[in-house]
Amino acid sequence: MTLTNPEIGMIQLASFIIIVLLGFPIAFTLVAMGVFFGLYAMGPRVFDLIVTNTYDIMSNDTLTAVPLFLFMGYLVERANILDRLFYSIQMAARRVPASLAVATLVTCALFATATGIVGAVVTLMGLLAFPAMLRAGYDTKLAAGVVCAGGCLGIMIPPSVLLILYGATTGISVVQLYSAAFLPGFLLAGLYVVYVVGRAIINPSLAPKPKELQGDLPFTTVVFALVTSFFPLAVLILSVLGAIIFGLATPSEAAAVGALGSIILAAAYRSLTFQRLKEAVYLTARTSAMVCYLFIGSWTFSSVFSYLGGHEVIEHWVLAAHLNATTFLIIAQFIIFLLGWPLEWTEIIIIFVPIFLPLIKLFNIDPLIFGILVALNIQTSFNTPPMAMAAYYLKGVAPPHVKLTEIFAGALPFVFMVFICMALVYIFPGIALWLPHQFYK
- Break the chain into its structural domains and give their ranges: 5-439
What would the mean pLDDT of 117-121 be, rounded to a whole number? 71
Whether the predicted pLDDT of 2 surpasses 70: no
Can you list the pairs that 164-168 forms with residues at least 24 positions away whose Cβ atoms lie under 8 Å? 164/62, 164/63, 164/65, 164/66, 164/69, 164/251, 165/66, 165/291, 165/346, 165/349, 165/350, 166/349, 166/353, 166/371, 166/374, 166/375, 167/62, 167/371, 168/60, 168/62, 168/63, 168/295
Please, is 179 exposed, middle or buried when counting C-beta atoms within 10 Å of its C-beta (0-12, 13-18, 19+)?
Answer: buried
- The number of CA neighbours under 13 Å toward the Cβ of 107 is 33
What would the mean pLDDT of 77-87 be, rounded to a whole number? 73
Find out whether 155 and 349 touch, Cβ atoms under 8 Å: no
Q: How far apart are CA 8 and CA 5, in angstroms?
A: 5
Lowest mean pLDDT among 47-51, 112-116, 263-267, 436-440: 112-116
* 122-150 pLDDT, tens digit each: 877 887 788 888 888 889 999 999 998 98
Whether the predicted pLDDT of 202 surpasses 50: yes
Whether the predicted pLDDT of 338 surpasses 60: yes
Would you place residue 15 in the very low, low, confident or very high pLDDT band (cuts 50, 70, 90)? Answer: confident
Lowest mean pLDDT among 25-34, 132-141, 325-334: 25-34
Residue 436, preceding peptide bond in cis (omega within 30° of 0): no
Would you place residue 361 in the very low, low, confident or very high pLDDT band (cuts 50, 70, 90)? Answer: confident
For position 81, what pLDDT does the model report? 72
Cβ atoms < 10 Å from Cβ of 95: 8
Residue predicted with more confidence, 291 or 286: 286
What would the mean pLDDT of 7-18 be, rounded to a whole number? 79
Residues in contact with 282: Cβ distance below 8 Å, sequence separation at least 6, in sequence order: none
What would the mean pLDDT of 21-38 be, rounded to a whole number? 80
For position 1, what pLDDT does the model report? 46
For position 215, what pLDDT does the model report? 59
For position 117, what pLDDT does the model report? 66
For position 214, what pLDDT does the model report? 57
DSSP code for 79: T
Share of the chain above pLDDT 90, in %: 9
For position 441, what pLDDT does the model report? 60
Whether the predicted pLDDT of 168 surpasses 90: no
For position 198, what pLDDT does the model report? 92
Residues in contact with 375: Cβ distance below 8 Å, sequence separation at least 6, in sequence order: 155, 156, 160, 162, 163, 166, 181
For position 213, what pLDDT does the model report? 59
